Structure formats: C-alpha cells, structure tokens
Structure 1
Amino acid sequence: MTFWKIFQGTPEKPHNGIEHLPEPPNWRKFDKKERGITYQARGEEIELVNAALYLRRPLLVTGKPGTGKSSLAYAVAKELQLGKVLRWNITTRSTLQQGLYRYDAIGRLQDAQGSSKDNLGEIGKYIQLGPLGTALLPSPNPKVLLIDEIDKSDIDLPNDLLNIFEEGQFEIPELARITEKFSKITVQTYDNRTATIISGYVQCEAFPFVILTSNGEREFPPAFLRRCLRLDLREPTPQELEAIVKAHLGDSIIEQAKPIIEKFVNLRKKGDLATDQLLNAIYMLTNTANTSDFLMLDSQDEEKDQKKEKLIERLLQYLSSTEGI
C-alpha cells in the first residue's frame, strides 16, 4: 500500500490498511519512562528549577498552552531519576481533601455489615492517598508533584494549600482517632503502592519538587504567591523551535521543516498556537509519516501544493475561535 490514507471512507469495502499505519510520533507514544526526555530547557527555566530545589519551594509555571509547562516536571523527574511524576489534574471541583487522600467510608460500612468481627484494624484498606498525599510521604529524595492547571480551581484551593506547603505534613483524622489501639496502619498510595502511616500523620522527609501550572487566566492571593517561585514560559523563538523539532524528529528533517516553522511563526503573531501543533504539521507534511506520495515539499505539482496548504491550515488552527480574524 503506497497511498497515505489509511482510512478511505469506503466502509462498504473493508481492507487491511491499518497494517500500514506507521509508528506514532514520539510525543504520542505512551511509554511514561520516556516522557520529558526531549524537553529543551532554557537558561531561565534551569535557574528557577534549581532555585526551587534548593529552597524547597513550589514552582508556579505560567505560559500559553503548549509552551511545555507540564513537560518540565517530567524532564526534571527524568534527569534527576526521581521516579514517577505524581500528577494532580485540577478542575473546578478539586479540593485539598482529594489531593491528600480518599476514604471509602461507604465501602467500609458495607463490609462491616457483612462481617461479625471488628474491622477497625483493617481501615487502611479503605484509604488511598492522593497525588499530594503520596508526594509528602517520607523518602530520602524528593518526589515530583505536578499540580496541573491550578488556575481552574475553586477560589479557595490555593489558600488551602498554604499550610501544606509551609509545614510539609497533614493529618488523616480517621487514623489519628485510633492510634491508641493501632499506631501503624498500611494504606494505598496514588502510585499503586502501600505506605505505613504512623499515628495518623504524614510528615515529609524531603519536600517534594512541586510544579503548579497556570495558563494565566486568574490572579492568585499574595500569601499563595509568596510561598511559590514563579516562572513565566515565553514562546519559543524560531531557533528554539528548530531545536525542538530536531529533538523530536531528528536533524535530517530540519531542511524540510524550515518552511513550516516560518509559516507557524508568522501565524503565531495573530493568535495562540501550541508547539505540538507545529510538530503535528511537520510530521504530516514531510516524509516522516510516509505521506510523501501525497505531500512532498519539493513537489511542483499545483494540486499537491494546494492540498498541502489546506492541510497546514487545518493542523495550525488557532486555539481560540476568535483569533486570527
């Protein structure tokens, strides 16, 4: 099969075209061990990450969508070998309680009703630490915690985080109440492990490396900002975009990619575009995705050029429907 279209819109004529689907681009592979390996850190990012590590302070990272805010957490975890990134995706319904731990009181009650014995010592089966709670478990090295899109939260959540960031500890009341009888309880963690909680308290040994991301859609309380270091990620320059493309697609693609990078930079002046949109376009508009029979950049065929431009237009749509008008 040489034609690039795997799906051809002919369900009445089934075929095995899916067998010819090429390997996915590396930013769409789901091997978590490799995430962050292609991140291109700049000087100001390196300085602020190191400052946050030294000062044991959270790093509040702002920037437009697609500038690599969340990828920075994975790059730090990868380079410093700090293990799995604990990711807390924030919504308007997110609460501090959800970040710390979840207690399945209903499940425990149902199990107790079906048993004649006291299951007080088994309460740990009904408690699972959240991403924040897991990050605060004692460990010799800091864990990496990504609190993604904190600006989507309820207005109270940033203030609720203040004491946690300051003290590095929290209490699980359900366990603290039974310490006279059971001082050590084993619970589940967010990363599918177990941890022993002593006297109902979790106290960090090494303060986690915390990245909070924000799209800059809201203001935060001064008390919250005082406890964070702040990094504003600017949009990559054309030279930095070339380095990003090389990291993801290899040096050999760069000459074919330059016209697309130039078009991307020009379009970006009129509205918001994400860097991964550029990568998508380059992947599809070069021979990287084995589509060169249809979209060769050096083709002089007028029809192919028109199709190429139309696909660029579809792949590089502005992030807001009102932009570029």
Structure 2
Amino acid sequence: MERLPGEGGSAAIPRGWLVYSGTGQPRDGLRLLDELPPPPPWRDFDGGPVLPPPPEDLPELRRRLGDAIRRSPDEQEILAINAALCLRRPLLVTGPPGVGKSTLAYQVSRELRLGPVLRWPVNSRSTLRSGLYDYDAVARVQDARLKGVEPQVGEYVQLGPLGTALLPHELPRVLLIDEFDKCDADLANDLLDVLEEGGFLIRELFRARAREPESTVYTADREGTALVREGWVGCRAFPFIVITSNGEREFSPAFLRRCIRLEMAQPGEERLAELVGAHFADRSTPHQDRVIREFLAYRRHSPVAADQLLNALHLVINGNADPDDRSWQRILDVVLRRLDEAGAG
C-alpha cells in the first residue's frame, strides 16, 4: 500500500491507483500507458486506428494554473480523480462558485501531460448535438452552386468538444463540461448513451458512406482535423471528463450512477496561499498573508470566490497600496463583493 503524498494519517490507496498524485507538478518520464490500469471489460473501447497525440498547450495551462508549484494533495480529490481515470467514468464535481472545480481538469492535464483541455461551456440552449458536432448544410449548398460540383460532406462537419474528446487517441483527452446545472433538463439523460457507448454516429457522413467511406472533418482543436470512417466516431481511451455543477439542480439516478462524484469545499488558508504563490510567486510576499486573512474574514459573512482574492492581490501589488491606508480597504471592498444577488445590489 502507498500512502497519499503529504498524508500523515492512516489513509492509503493501492499503488496501482496512484496515477494522479495531485502535487501540481508535471511528471517527467511519465509512461501513462504502462501505469494506467486496464479498463473494466465493460469500459473497454476500440474506436479505430490510433490518432497522434495532441501537442501540450503549456501557455494555456500556465494562464489557467499559474506556475507549476508543489501543492498539498487533497485525499478525497485524489481518490475521486483516480477512480474516474481507472474506471473510465466522468467525474461530477459539485460545490459553490469559485472553489476550483473547473481547475481540476487543467491540473490533471498538466500532471499527466494529456494535452489541451477541451472545454464545453453549457447553457440552457446547449444540446447533445452541439457538444458532438456541427454540420453546415447551408454553406455546402451554396458552395455547390458556386463551384458546379457536389463538395465533400466532411468539409462541412466540425466536431464539438465532446465529439473531439471521443476520437480514438491512445491516451485519454481531457474534457471540461462546465456549469452543467445550467443545461436543459433533458441534456443529462441525452448524454447517457454516448457515455456508455464511447462514441456516436455523424448521420450526414453515414448517409454519404457509399461515395465517401472516409471523410476528413474539423475538430475542436485549433486547426485540428481527423479522419472519420463511415460516419462513426469512437474512442479507444475513454476521455477524462470533468463535469462541474454549482449544486443548483438535481440529476437523475441514471446519470449519477454513471459518474464518480466529488464535493468540493471552500479552499482553506493553506490552499489559498498555494494559489497565490502559483500566480504571483514572490511578488505577493509583502501583502499575501494580510490579504488572505481579509479574504477569509469577508468569506465568513458573504459568498466570495478565490479568483476575487487574486483580483484583489493584483490591484494591491500593482498599486503599491499601503495596508494602513484607507485605499487598501477600499480596494478590498470593491473587489470582494458578494456573489449573491442581494449583496451585489
């Protein structure tokens, strides 16, 4: 048995589960194919020939996470993430706004070197189709009239974030489905079949398979394309899917049983200090402890988010604010406004 990094208690996880350690550090010399346990037989997919891995998007990871400083691992977080990775199941993360739910996807991507995070921001108009792919039939008809020939169907298909995540890569892609509780009531149940099958059919390509058995389509990656055979998109490695929810609605038992669930609490003083250190390094030293204490004092009386702390520190650092001057408090009062409607008015 291998103890969780940084844990002094009795909690332990079998070594085979410790694919993700939660330290915040990219793993050098990582061979994830060798370390990741095989999937359960019912989650083993064969979506076709393996596609080349996507390149790492280090600037985006640094923008989202700051510098790769060492974090204090959280036991429940590590258990849930490793369970989702090993069981090839989505991770449903719930908690108040601003606690770092979306950040988990980027942390896993950086540590395990899984490439750019695909992001699907959900709202009340989102449908399963919008996450899978888009087909521009109007543009195809217009081009046919202009060129006098029938264009290839694949030229007018673009995979969405979910569709791109389900392409046959050797290692799992990371997909963030953000603010899922904003979706229409049917979307969670519509997702079930795709999550179970690990793939989906592009009907426009399937209908054209006699004359176009193979089609090159665009993906959600920047300038990305992929080859689709007979309209079927299927994964080999099931993607690591992080679904975030602010807990504003309930999901059906059928949806919940297909997910690994993680409830995130508000970050404490130690985790806030790590967040500040990742984004500001030594520049925050003169102000960090006091601003964090002020932030925690605000949070005891009203809902505020961790990114508001970063905003306050950025203004304090760049404005050379004096903690004993009234301007300090005025900055905090402006930036650390309540997140609920009553306090924002």
Give the structure-2-normalised TM-score.
0.78
Tell me the alpha carbon deviations over residues 254-273 of structure 1, each in whole angstroms, 9 at most, x when there is no partner: 45322221221121112210
- 1:247 matched to which residue of 2? 278
How far the C-alpha of 1:177 sits from its partner, in A, is 1.1
Deviation of the 1:252 alpha carbon: 6.5
Instruction: Out of 254-263 and 234-243, give the one that drifted further.
Output: 254-263
SS in 1 for 2:85: helix
Query: Could you report, residue by residue, the CA deviation over 1:14-49 in whole angstroms, capped at 9, with x for unpaired residues?
Result: xxxxxxxxxxxxxxxx93142335584522212211
Identify which range, 259-268 or 89-98, moves more after superposition: 259-268
Q: Counterpart of 2:302 in 1: which secondary structure?
A: coil
Q: Is the 8 A contact 2:66 2:278 kept in 1?
A: no
Distance 1:159 1:150 in 2: 12
State the SS of the aligned residue for 2:287: helix
Partners of 1:283 and 1:71 in 2: CA distance:
20
Q: How high is the sequence identity, in percent, across the aligned residues?
A: 47
Contact 2:61 2:106 in 1 (8 A): no
2:207 equivalent to 1:177: yes
Confirm or deny that 1:36 pairs with 2:56: no
Task: Tell me which of 175, 178, 202 is aligned to 1:148.
Answer: 178
1:84 aligns with 2:104: no
Question: 1:161-200 alignment to 2 at 5 Å?
Answer: 161-191=191-221, 192-200=223-231
Inter-partner Cα distance in structure 1 for 2:344 and 2:239: 41
Does residue 221 of structure 1 match 2:241? Answer: no
Amino acid at match of 2:127: T
C-alpha contact (below 8 Å) 1:36/1:72 kept by paired residues: no
Q: Does the 8 A contact of 2:337 with 2:344 survive in 1?
A: no
Say what the alpha-carbon RMSD is for the aligned residues.
1.9
Q: Which amino acid aligns with 1:296?
A: D
Aligned counterparts of 1:260 and 1:203: Cα–Cα separation in 2: 49
Deviation at 1:251? 4.9
Alignment partner, residue 337 of structure 2 = 317
How far apart in 1 are the matches of 2:229 and 2:217? Answer: 11
Mean CA deviation greater in 107-116 or 51-60 = 107-116
Structure 2 equivalent of residue 296 of structure 1? 322
Structure 1 pair 43–111 and aligned structure 2 pair: CA distance change class (3 A) = same
- Which of 121, 134, 138 is 1:106 aligned to? 138
Kindly tell me: are residues 308 and 76 of structure 1, through their superposed partners in 2, closer, same or farther at Cα, counting changes over 3 Å? same
- In the other structure, the counterpart of 1:306 is 326
The count of aligned residue pairs is 283
Contact 1:270 1:324 in 2 (8 A): no
Query: How far 1:219 sits from its partner (Å)?
Result: 0.5
Partner of 1:12: none
Equivalent position of 1:3 in the other structure:
none
Residues 66-90 of structure 1: per-residue CA shift (max 9 Å, x gap): 1111111111111111111110010
Residue 99 of structure 2 is aligned to residue 67 of structure 1: yes
- SS where residue 84 of structure 1 aligns? coil
In the alignment, which of 277, 297, 303 is matched to residue 272 of structure 1? 303
Offset of residue 183 of structure 1: 1.0
Letter of the structure 2 residue corresponding to residue 66 of structure 1: G
Instruction: Give the Cα–Cα distance (whole angstroms) in 2 for the partners of residues 158 and 215 of structure 1.
Output: 15
Question: Counterparts of 2:66 and 2:106 in 1: how far apart (Å)?
Answer: 8
* Bigger radius of gyration: 1
CA apart distance, 1:323: 4.0
1:283 to partner: Cα distance: 2.5
| Structure 2 unmatched ranges of 5 or more | 1-57
Where do residues 21-60 of structure 1 align in structure 2 (5 Å cutoff)? Answer: 31-34=59-62, 35-36=64-65, 38=67, 40=71, 41-60=73-92
What is the rounded CA distance, in whole Å, between the counterparts of 1:235 and 1:38 in structure 2? 22
Q: CA deviation at 1:324?
A: 9.3
**Unpaired runs of at least 5, structure 1:** 1-29, 300-304
**Aligned residue identity for 2:332:** I
Structure 2 CA distance for partners of 1:166 and 1:144, relative to 1, 3 Å:
same
* Residue deviations 1:280-317 (CA, integer Å, cap 9, x gap): 212322xx32x22xx222x5xxxxx2222112111111
Q: How many angstroms apart in 2 are the aligned matches of 1:114 and 1:252?
A: 59
> Where does residue 42 of structure 2 map in the other structure?
none
Letter in 2 for 1:126: Y
TM-score, scaled relative to structure 1:
0.82
Aligned counterpart, 1:236: 267
Instruction: Give the equivalent residue in structure 2 for 1:302.
Output: none
